[in-house]
Homo-oligomer: A and B are copies of this chain.
Amino acid sequence: MSILSYDHLYKFTHDILIKIGCPEFHAQIGAEVLVSADLRGVDSHGVARLSGYIRLWEKGRINTNPNIRIVHESPSTAVVDGDSGLGLVVAPYAMNVAIEKATKAGTGWVSVRNSNHYGIAGYHSMMALDHDMIGLSFTNASPLVSPTFSKERLLGTNPISVAIPADEEPPFVADMATTTAANGKLEILQRKGKEAPSGWIQDKDGNPTTTADGVKNGGALLPLGGDREHGSHKGYALGAIVDIFSAVLSGANYGPWVPPFVAFLDPDPNPVGEGIGHFFGAMRVDAFRPADEFKSHMDNWIRRFRSAEPTPGNDRVLIPGDPERELEATRKKEGIPLLQPVIEDLVDLGKRFGVKF
């Protein structure tokens, strides 16, 4: 484990993106989105993924100089075509379209096709906060999740993020996979050789298992809820809604057709759409009630929940976004810890592209 500064990781990522052909502005925003994951503690979505993006670029699956554009619109909606660009760049573009629409129409809703992995969902939803707007961000992803009663993997971990501004309190920021557990958490257990809790995964035959490498061996992650008795049909429905809003509305690939994130697996030769899909929303708070009224009630909401009496063995009730914000504050000050294999990966990448790590 080594500790690196945000600035160091940002600059390295930026320089690599320039080397693969990104225009300056794309390299800036792409690096900012990627490293924001490391800052917020979503380590699986940060610089650890950079070499994966590079491999997709080498395969011709990522266009580093894309013509991102609106292909359809109404006063409160748009469809954006990402032209096979980095999702890290396409997503902020689309979220800005949602914010512009909301400025005029009260709300803005943008579905995106022909994109790639977009980093952490929460970066994009949080773009709305400074505008006194509520932000929403969904994306579909490579199929690793089996719907309730399905042996087949038909959905991605399809996250939902919703960011809501407050006044004196920090904002409410939910950012969650629609599965019981994120794939990154499973990978940690695999590395440690530990069992996974029940309800996280099933094996390749569709039976529940606690073997942490079950997903690697043809099994699947399970929707939030874990099994039918604990509401997995609800997690399945949420993942499905994310898939449909992101891809059926925009014309991207959906369900089992979503292109795999790993470069060694080829996309389906008979796609049902283009690339992967995202969905963004922005709602101007004062399209409902005066923003100061809303934000002062949000303060009250947050304080009431945060001060609730905790259950035995727990210190306090958290507000969605608390853990990530606290980690971000620490890591901004003290640096970002990276595992040795990630460091080695980045050093290699630097050598190949002539960028000092």
Contacts and interface: CB of A to CB of B under 8 A. Distances in A.
Interface of A: 72-77, 79, 104-107, 109, 111, 134, 146-152, 154, 162, 164, 172, 174, 176, 178-181, 197, 199-200, 202, 205-207, 224-226, 229-231, 233-238, 240-241, 243-245, 248-251, 254-256, 272-273, 283-285, 287-289, 293-294, 297-298, 300-301, 304-305, 308-312, 314, 316-318, 320
Contacts of A154: 304-305, 308
Copies of this chain per assembly:
2
Contacts of A293: 251
Contacts of A224: 224-225, 231, 234-235
A277 to B, nearest CB: 11
A55 to B, nearest CB: 28
21 contacts: A72-B288, A76-B76, A77-B283, A77-B288, A105-B105, A147-B308, A148-B318, A149-B310, A150-B317, A152-B309, A164-B241, A172-B240, A174-B234, A176-B237, A179-B231, A181-B231, A197-B229, A224-B231, A249-B285, A249-B289, A272-B300
Q: Does more than half of chain A's interface fall in helix, strand or loop, or is it mixed?
A: mixed
A47 to B, nearest CB: 26
A206 B234 CA distance: 24
Given A229-B197, A288-B111, A309 B75 contact: no
Contact of A147 (B72, B249, B305): B305
B180 A225 contact: yes
Top 3 nearest A-B pairs (CB, nearest first) are A74-B106, A206-B311, A174-B237
A210 to B, nearest CB: 12
A329 B234 CA distance: 23
Name the residue in A107, A256, A316 with the highest tally of chain B Cβ atoms < 10 Å from its Cβ: A107
